Amino acid sequence: MSIVAANPPFVVTTEREARLRVLEWQAERQTVALVPTMGNLHAGHISLVEKVQQLADRVVCSIFVNPTQFGPGEDFEAYPRTLPEDERKLAGLGIDLVFAPTVKEIYPFGDERPVTVTVPGLTEDLCGASRPGHFTGVATVVCRLLNIIRPDFAVFGEKDYQQLLVLSRMVEDLRLPVEVIRAPIVRDADGLALSSRNRYLTAEQRLVAPTLNRTLWTLVEAIQAGRTDYAALEAEGWSALEAAGFRPDYLEIRTAADIKRPVVALPPEQLIVLAAAWLGETRLLDNVQVAD
Protein backbone atom coordinates (compact mmCIF):
# COMPACT_ATOMS: atom_id res chain seq x y z
CA MET A 1 0.00 0.00 0.00
CA SER A 2 1.25 3.50 -0.80
CA ILE A 3 -0.87 5.46 1.65
CA VAL A 4 1.08 8.49 2.85
CA ALA A 5 -1.43 9.93 5.28
CA ALA A 6 -3.62 7.97 7.68
CA ASN A 7 -5.92 10.88 8.54
CA PRO A 8 -8.07 12.88 6.14
CA PRO A 9 -7.26 13.59 3.45
CA PHE A 10 -6.51 9.94 2.73
CA VAL A 11 -3.83 10.06 0.02
CA VAL A 12 -3.36 7.26 -2.48
CA THR A 13 -1.24 6.95 -5.59
CA THR A 14 -2.60 3.87 -7.36
CA GLU A 15 -5.78 3.07 -9.25
CA ARG A 16 -6.35 0.00 -7.08
CA GLU A 17 -6.30 1.96 -3.82
CA ALA A 18 -8.58 4.66 -5.20
CA ARG A 19 -11.08 2.16 -6.56
CA LEU A 20 -11.20 0.17 -3.32
CA ARG A 21 -11.98 3.25 -1.28
CA VAL A 22 -14.64 4.50 -3.71
CA LEU A 23 -16.21 1.04 -3.92
CA GLU A 24 -16.57 1.02 -0.13
CA TRP A 25 -18.51 4.27 -0.26
CA GLN A 26 -20.65 3.16 -3.17
CA ALA A 27 -21.49 -0.07 -1.36
CA GLU A 28 -22.91 2.16 1.37
CA ARG A 29 -24.95 4.03 -1.28
CA GLN A 30 -22.93 7.20 -0.82
CA THR A 31 -22.49 9.57 -3.75
CA VAL A 32 -19.01 10.54 -4.91
CA ALA A 33 -17.71 13.71 -6.60
CA LEU A 34 -14.39 14.16 -8.39
CA VAL A 35 -12.42 17.42 -8.54
CA PRO A 36 -9.68 16.94 -11.17
CA THR A 37 -6.72 19.29 -10.70
CA MET A 38 -3.06 19.65 -11.60
CA GLY A 39 -2.29 20.80 -8.05
CA ASN A 40 -0.78 24.10 -6.94
CA LEU A 41 -4.19 24.72 -5.43
CA HIS A 42 -5.60 28.23 -5.02
CA ALA A 43 -8.95 29.68 -3.99
CA GLY A 44 -10.46 28.75 -7.36
CA HIS A 45 -9.76 25.07 -6.74
CA ILE A 46 -11.03 25.37 -3.18
CA SER A 47 -14.32 26.75 -4.51
CA LEU A 48 -14.70 23.63 -6.69
CA VAL A 49 -14.26 21.40 -3.66
CA GLU A 50 -16.70 23.40 -1.58
CA LYS A 51 -19.29 23.37 -4.36
CA VAL A 52 -19.39 19.59 -4.70
CA GLN A 53 -19.20 19.05 -0.94
CA GLN A 54 -22.75 20.43 -1.00
CA LEU A 55 -23.80 17.80 -3.58
CA ALA A 56 -21.99 14.58 -2.74
CA ASP A 57 -21.42 12.47 0.33
CA ARG A 58 -17.75 11.97 -0.53
CA VAL A 59 -15.27 14.11 -2.47
CA VAL A 60 -12.14 12.94 -4.29
CA CYS A 61 -9.54 15.43 -5.49
CA SER A 62 -7.04 14.24 -8.08
CA ILE A 63 -3.66 15.95 -8.35
CA PHE A 64 -1.83 15.09 -11.55
CA VAL A 65 0.26 17.27 -13.87
CA ASN A 66 -0.74 15.73 -17.17
CA PRO A 67 2.10 15.61 -19.71
CA THR A 68 -0.13 14.97 -22.74
CA GLN A 69 -1.83 18.37 -22.58
CA PHE A 70 1.44 20.31 -22.79
CA GLY A 71 2.85 21.09 -26.21
CA PRO A 72 6.48 21.56 -27.26
CA GLY A 73 8.01 24.54 -25.51
CA GLU A 74 5.23 24.76 -22.92
CA ASP A 75 5.86 24.76 -19.18
CA PHE A 76 5.38 21.08 -18.23
CA GLU A 77 8.70 20.79 -16.40
CA ALA A 78 8.34 24.22 -14.79
CA TYR A 79 4.66 23.82 -13.86
CA PRO A 80 4.48 24.37 -10.07
CA ARG A 81 4.22 21.15 -8.08
CA THR A 82 3.24 21.74 -4.47
CA LEU A 83 1.81 18.40 -3.32
CA PRO A 84 2.58 18.68 0.44
CA GLU A 85 1.05 22.16 0.59
CA ASP A 86 -1.94 20.99 -1.49
CA GLU A 87 -2.52 18.09 0.88
CA ARG A 88 -2.56 20.43 3.87
CA LYS A 89 -5.12 22.68 2.19
CA LEU A 90 -7.35 19.73 1.36
CA ALA A 91 -7.01 18.35 4.88
CA GLY A 92 -8.34 21.65 6.15
CA LEU A 93 -11.39 21.23 3.92
CA GLY A 94 -12.10 17.74 5.23
CA ILE A 95 -11.82 16.17 1.79
CA ASP A 96 -12.23 12.39 1.74
CA LEU A 97 -9.57 11.22 -0.72
CA VAL A 98 -6.62 12.64 -2.62
CA PHE A 99 -5.59 10.66 -5.70
CA ALA A 100 -2.03 11.64 -6.66
CA PRO A 101 -0.94 9.12 -9.31
CA THR A 102 2.32 8.88 -11.19
CA VAL A 103 2.49 9.24 -14.97
CA LYS A 104 2.97 5.47 -15.20
CA GLU A 105 -0.25 4.91 -13.27
CA ILE A 106 -2.29 7.04 -15.67
CA TYR A 107 -0.45 5.99 -18.83
CA PRO A 108 0.62 2.36 -18.21
CA PHE A 109 1.92 1.99 -21.78
CA GLY A 110 3.71 5.34 -21.74
CA ASP A 111 2.58 8.87 -22.52
CA GLU A 112 4.29 9.17 -25.90
CA ARG A 113 1.61 7.40 -27.97
CA PRO A 114 -1.31 6.65 -25.64
CA VAL A 115 -4.86 5.78 -26.62
CA THR A 116 -6.51 9.20 -26.85
CA VAL A 117 -9.91 10.87 -26.79
CA THR A 118 -10.59 13.53 -29.43
CA VAL A 119 -13.62 15.83 -29.36
CA PRO A 120 -14.16 17.28 -32.85
CA GLY A 121 -16.06 20.48 -33.44
CA LEU A 122 -15.04 22.22 -30.22
CA THR A 123 -11.26 21.90 -30.24
CA GLU A 124 -10.04 23.30 -33.55
CA ASP A 125 -9.84 27.02 -32.80
CA LEU A 126 -9.35 29.47 -29.92
CA CYS A 127 -7.05 27.63 -27.48
CA GLY A 128 -7.14 24.62 -29.78
CA ALA A 129 -5.51 26.60 -32.58
CA SER A 130 -2.84 28.04 -30.30
CA ARG A 131 -2.11 24.78 -28.51
CA PRO A 132 -2.49 21.89 -30.98
CA GLY A 133 -3.27 18.63 -29.22
CA HIS A 134 -3.97 20.32 -25.89
CA PHE A 135 -7.63 19.38 -25.68
CA THR A 136 -6.95 15.82 -26.78
CA GLY A 137 -4.58 15.57 -23.82
CA VAL A 138 -7.16 17.09 -21.47
CA ALA A 139 -10.01 14.86 -22.67
CA THR A 140 -7.78 11.79 -22.52
CA VAL A 141 -6.65 12.32 -18.94
CA VAL A 142 -10.10 13.30 -17.65
CA CYS A 143 -11.65 10.25 -19.31
CA ARG A 144 -9.07 8.06 -17.57
CA LEU A 145 -9.68 9.72 -14.21
CA LEU A 146 -13.44 9.29 -14.59
CA ASN A 147 -12.97 5.63 -15.44
CA ILE A 148 -10.76 5.13 -12.39
CA ILE A 149 -12.89 6.96 -9.83
CA ARG A 150 -16.31 6.44 -11.48
CA PRO A 151 -17.88 9.36 -9.62
CA ASP A 152 -21.47 10.54 -9.66
CA PHE A 153 -20.34 14.14 -10.20
CA ALA A 154 -17.29 15.85 -11.71
CA VAL A 155 -16.76 19.60 -11.35
CA PHE A 156 -14.97 21.95 -13.76
CA GLY A 157 -14.48 25.69 -13.59
CA GLU A 158 -15.78 28.16 -16.15
CA LYS A 159 -12.46 29.99 -16.47
CA ASP A 160 -11.35 27.34 -18.95
CA TYR A 161 -14.66 27.70 -20.76
CA GLN A 162 -13.67 25.91 -23.96
CA GLN A 163 -12.31 23.04 -21.89
CA LEU A 164 -15.58 22.88 -19.95
CA LEU A 165 -17.55 22.50 -23.19
CA VAL A 166 -15.11 19.90 -24.51
CA LEU A 167 -15.38 17.75 -21.39
CA SER A 168 -19.15 18.12 -21.22
CA ARG A 169 -19.41 16.96 -24.84
CA MET A 170 -17.06 14.03 -24.18
CA VAL A 171 -19.11 12.87 -21.20
CA GLU A 172 -22.38 13.14 -23.11
CA ASP A 173 -21.11 11.57 -26.34
CA LEU A 174 -19.35 8.64 -24.64
CA ARG A 175 -22.34 8.12 -22.34
CA LEU A 176 -20.17 8.32 -19.25
CA PRO A 177 -22.35 7.92 -16.14
CA VAL A 178 -21.32 11.17 -14.46
CA GLU A 179 -22.97 14.56 -14.08
CA VAL A 180 -20.78 17.51 -15.05
CA ILE A 181 -21.02 20.40 -12.59
CA ARG A 182 -20.04 23.92 -13.67
CA ALA A 183 -18.41 26.29 -11.21
CA PRO A 184 -18.09 30.06 -11.70
CA ILE A 185 -14.77 31.85 -12.11
CA VAL A 186 -13.09 32.93 -8.87
CA ARG A 187 -11.31 36.28 -9.12
CA ASP A 188 -9.04 38.50 -7.10
CA ALA A 189 -10.58 41.75 -5.90
CA ASP A 190 -9.29 43.57 -9.00
CA GLY A 191 -10.97 41.13 -11.38
CA LEU A 192 -8.03 38.92 -12.36
CA ALA A 193 -9.16 35.32 -12.77
CA LEU A 194 -7.27 33.05 -10.38
CA SER A 195 -4.78 30.73 -12.07
CA SER A 196 -1.74 28.73 -11.02
CA ARG A 197 0.18 30.59 -13.73
CA ASN A 198 -0.47 33.99 -12.14
CA ARG A 199 2.58 33.38 -9.97
CA TYR A 200 4.72 33.82 -13.08
CA LEU A 201 3.71 37.49 -13.32
CA THR A 202 6.14 40.13 -12.15
CA ALA A 203 4.88 42.74 -9.70
CA GLU A 204 4.55 45.25 -12.54
CA GLN A 205 2.73 42.77 -14.78
CA ARG A 206 0.36 41.88 -11.95
CA LEU A 207 -0.81 45.49 -11.88
CA VAL A 208 -1.54 45.37 -15.62
CA ALA A 209 -3.15 41.89 -15.68
CA PRO A 210 -6.69 42.96 -14.60
CA THR A 211 -6.91 45.00 -17.83
CA LEU A 212 -7.79 41.73 -19.57
CA ASN A 213 -11.01 41.35 -17.60
CA ARG A 214 -11.84 45.05 -17.86
CA THR A 215 -11.46 44.88 -21.63
CA LEU A 216 -13.85 41.94 -21.82
CA TRP A 217 -16.39 43.83 -19.73
CA THR A 218 -16.11 46.82 -22.05
CA LEU A 219 -17.19 44.58 -24.93
CA VAL A 220 -19.93 42.96 -22.86
CA GLU A 221 -21.38 46.31 -21.89
CA ALA A 222 -21.33 47.44 -25.54
CA ILE A 223 -23.26 44.31 -26.56
CA GLN A 224 -25.73 44.80 -23.73
CA ALA A 225 -26.22 48.38 -24.96
CA GLY A 226 -27.24 47.04 -28.37
CA ARG A 227 -24.09 46.90 -30.48
CA THR A 228 -23.98 43.95 -32.88
CA ASP A 229 -20.91 44.87 -34.94
CA TYR A 230 -18.98 42.02 -33.40
CA ALA A 231 -15.88 42.24 -35.61
CA ALA A 232 -15.46 45.93 -34.82
CA LEU A 233 -15.86 45.27 -31.11
CA GLU A 234 -13.24 42.54 -31.26
CA ALA A 235 -10.84 44.88 -33.04
CA GLU A 236 -11.39 47.55 -30.39
CA GLY A 237 -10.72 45.08 -27.62
CA TRP A 238 -7.60 43.79 -29.37
CA SER A 239 -6.23 47.33 -29.67
CA ALA A 240 -6.96 48.02 -26.00
CA LEU A 241 -5.03 44.93 -24.94
CA GLU A 242 -2.07 45.80 -27.13
CA ALA A 243 -2.04 49.34 -25.76
CA ALA A 244 -1.85 47.91 -22.24
CA GLY A 245 1.15 45.75 -23.12
CA PHE A 246 -0.50 42.41 -23.90
CA ARG A 247 0.20 40.21 -26.90
CA PRO A 248 -3.32 38.93 -27.65
CA ASP A 249 -3.68 35.33 -28.76
CA TYR A 250 -7.38 35.73 -29.45
CA LEU A 251 -10.29 37.90 -28.41
CA GLU A 252 -13.60 36.62 -29.75
CA ILE A 253 -17.33 37.04 -29.35
CA ARG A 254 -18.89 33.60 -29.62
CA THR A 255 -22.10 31.74 -28.89
CA ALA A 256 -22.08 30.56 -25.29
CA ALA A 257 -23.63 27.18 -26.08
CA ASP A 258 -21.01 25.93 -28.54
CA ILE A 259 -18.41 28.73 -29.04
CA LYS A 260 -19.40 29.18 -32.69
CA ARG A 261 -18.97 32.50 -34.45
CA PRO A 262 -22.33 34.32 -34.49
CA VAL A 263 -23.26 34.76 -38.15
CA VAL A 264 -26.20 37.02 -37.34
CA ALA A 265 -27.00 39.34 -34.45
CA LEU A 266 -28.08 37.28 -31.45
CA PRO A 267 -29.73 38.09 -28.12
CA PRO A 268 -26.98 39.14 -25.70
CA GLU A 269 -27.69 36.28 -23.30
CA GLN A 270 -26.62 33.80 -25.98
CA LEU A 271 -23.11 35.28 -26.27
CA ILE A 272 -19.79 35.03 -24.47
CA VAL A 273 -16.59 37.05 -24.89
CA LEU A 274 -13.41 34.98 -24.60
CA ALA A 275 -9.75 35.96 -24.66
CA ALA A 276 -6.26 34.61 -24.20
CA ALA A 277 -3.34 36.99 -24.13
CA TRP A 278 0.32 36.94 -23.22
CA LEU A 279 1.65 39.34 -20.62
CA GLY A 280 5.39 38.89 -20.73
CA GLU A 281 5.94 35.13 -20.59
CA THR A 282 2.58 34.38 -18.97
CA ARG A 283 -0.50 33.39 -20.95
CA LEU A 284 -3.67 34.63 -19.27
CA LEU A 285 -7.14 33.27 -20.02
CA ASP A 286 -10.52 34.81 -19.24
CA ASN A 287 -14.12 35.02 -20.39
CA VAL A 288 -17.32 36.87 -19.53
CA GLN A 289 -20.76 35.64 -20.46
CA VAL A 290 -22.86 38.51 -21.73
CA ALA A 291 -25.80 37.38 -19.62
CA ASP A 292 -23.68 38.13 -16.55
Of 86, 69, 48, nearest to 143 by C-alpha is: 69
Report the run of H or E that residue 170 belongs to, with start and end: helix 161-173
Which tens digits make up the pLDDT trace of 50-86? Answer: 999 999 999 999 999 999 999 888 889 888 899 999 9
**pTM here?**
0.93
Strands 10-12 and 97-99: parallel
Which pLDDT belongs to residue 1? Answer: 34
Q: Tell me the average pLDDT of the chain.
A: 94
Closest to 190 in 3D by CA, of 214, 215, 219: 214
Considering the domain 10-183 in this protein, what is its CATH number? 3.40.50.620
- Contact call for residues 77 and 67 (beta carbons, < 8 A): no
Q: How confident is the model at residue 238 (pLDDT cuts 50, 70, 90)?
A: very high
CA separation for the pair 212, 279 (Å, rounded): 10
Q: List the CATH code of the domain at 196-289.
A: 3.30.1300.10
Non-local (6+) Cβ contacts of 146 within 8 A are 34, 154, 171, 176, 178
In tens, the pLDDT along 168-181 reads 999 999 999 999 99
Q: What is the percent of the chain with per-residue pLDDT over 90, rounded to a whole number?
A: 92
At 154-165, the pLDDT tens digits run 999 999 999 999
Asked if pLDDT for residue 144 goes beyond 60, the answer is: yes
* Predicted local confidence at residue 73, as pLDDT: 83
Q: What percentage of the chain exceeds 70 in pLDDT?
A: 97
Domain locations in the chain? 10-183, 196-289
- 6 pLDDT more than 50: no
What confidence score (pLDDT) does residue 215 get?
98
What SS3 state is found at 282?
strand
238: Cβ contacts below 8 Å, ≥ 6 apart: 248, 251
Query: 45 catalytic, yes or no?
Result: yes
**Is the model's pLDDT at 7 over the cut of 70?**
no
pLDDT of residue 9: 60
From the candidates 10, 15, 36, 45, give the one annotated as an active-site residue.
45
| 196-289 and 10-183 share a CATH fold | no
- Does residue 4 have a pLDDT over 60? no
Average of per-residue pLDDT across 201-213: 98
